[in-house]
């Protein structure tokens, strides 16, 4: 399994970070979250057209790039699976309508992220996170390897369970240690929270993601993988 980092910022973060988006290669090419400029990032990183996209929730930094992706599906005559909750599927359809690209929807196969989703030999599992809008974390399993992505969430036992024993957990870190109260109120986690969840879940590596600060303050007993633009992690 190969995990590529397309972006790792929160919605209003340093522009150089991009928006949190991850591209996972198994027997399929899976894009996870699609903020603005995600299609541009895919091409800049030299990655092929994704077979499927999982969209965790409808906050703009996770979904606003979907219209461009849909338009390219039509232009390239490629089909695209969109895996998401019913709420997010409705949001995608609305975005296609308001941006006047409804015709592109005929190139999309929607798969609701209720229960497990199997695409080829890749299995996706989901839990609902602790965030102001309906949000799902995802676990990607393939050939005995496992990658988990928290999406946006305050510290969550469900996310911890989802990530249990994974090779790599990408967990959001919207705040630094000492900012727990205000960070949790907004439905986010600090670096300290992410390390604690990774430790309890027994993951092999932790990737802090979804920064609002250029340099998150983090110390971890678990090996850290720091995201870089187009950075690749092989697990």
Closest CA to 52 of 99, 120, 100: 120
Closest CA to 111 of 27, 53, 28, 49: 53
- Contact between 33 and Zn ion per CB under 5 A: no
Residues touching Zn ion, count (CB under 5 A): 2
**Shortest distance (Å) from residue 38 CB to Zn ion:** 15
Lay out the site mask for Zn ion across 184-213 (x = CB under 5 A, - = otherwise): ------------------------------
The dihedrals phi and psi of 94, each to the nearest 5 degrees, come to -65, -45
**Residues 191, 196, 199, 201, Cα dihedral to 10°:** -110
**Shortest distance (Å) from residue 103 CB to Zn ion:** 29
**Shortest distance (Å) from residue 145 CB to Zn ion:** 27
How many Cβ atoms are within 10 Å of 144's Cβ, its own excluded? 7
Lay out the site mask for Zn ion across 56-85 (x = CB under 5 A, - = otherwise): ---x--------------------------
Residue with tokens 């027994």: 202
**Shortest distance (Å) from residue 47 CB to Zn ion:** 24
Lay out the site mask for Zn ion across 130-159 (x = CB under 5 A, - = otherwise): ----------------------x-------
Nearer to Zn ion, 26 or 189 (CB): 189
**Shortest distance (Å) from residue 73 CB to Zn ion:** 25
Query: Contact positions toward Zn ion, by CB under 5 A?
Result: 59, 152
């Amino acid at each position: 399994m190969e995990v590529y980092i397309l972006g790792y910022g929160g919605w209003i973060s340093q522009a150089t970070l991009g928006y949190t988006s991850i591209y996972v290669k198994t027997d399929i090419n899976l894009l996870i979250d699609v903020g603005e400029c995600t299609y541009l990032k895919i091409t800049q990183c030299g990655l092929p057209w994704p077979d499927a996209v999982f969209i965790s929730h409808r906050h703009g930094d996770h979904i606003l790039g979907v219209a461009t992706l849909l338009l390219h599906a039509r232009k390239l005559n490629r089909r695209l699976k969109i895996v998401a909750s019913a709420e997010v599927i409705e949001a995608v359809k609305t975005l296609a309508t308001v941006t006047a690209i409804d015709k592109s929807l005929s190139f999309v196969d929607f798969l609701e992220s209720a229960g497990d989703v199997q695409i080829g030999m890749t299995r996706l599992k989901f839990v609902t996170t602790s965030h102001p809008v309906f949000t799902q974390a995802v676990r990607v399993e393939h050939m005995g390897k496992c990658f988990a992505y928290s999406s946006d969430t305050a510290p969550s036992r469900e996310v911890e369970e989802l990530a249990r024993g994974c090779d790599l957990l990408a967990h959001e870190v919207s705040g630094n240690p000492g900012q727990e109260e205000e960070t949790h109120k907004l439905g986010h986690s600090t670096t300290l929270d992410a390390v604690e969840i990774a430790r309890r879940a027994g993951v092999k590596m932790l990737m802090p993601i979804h920064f609002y600060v250029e340099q998150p303050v983090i110390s971890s007993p678990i090996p850290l993988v720091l995201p870089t633009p187009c950075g690749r992690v092989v697990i």
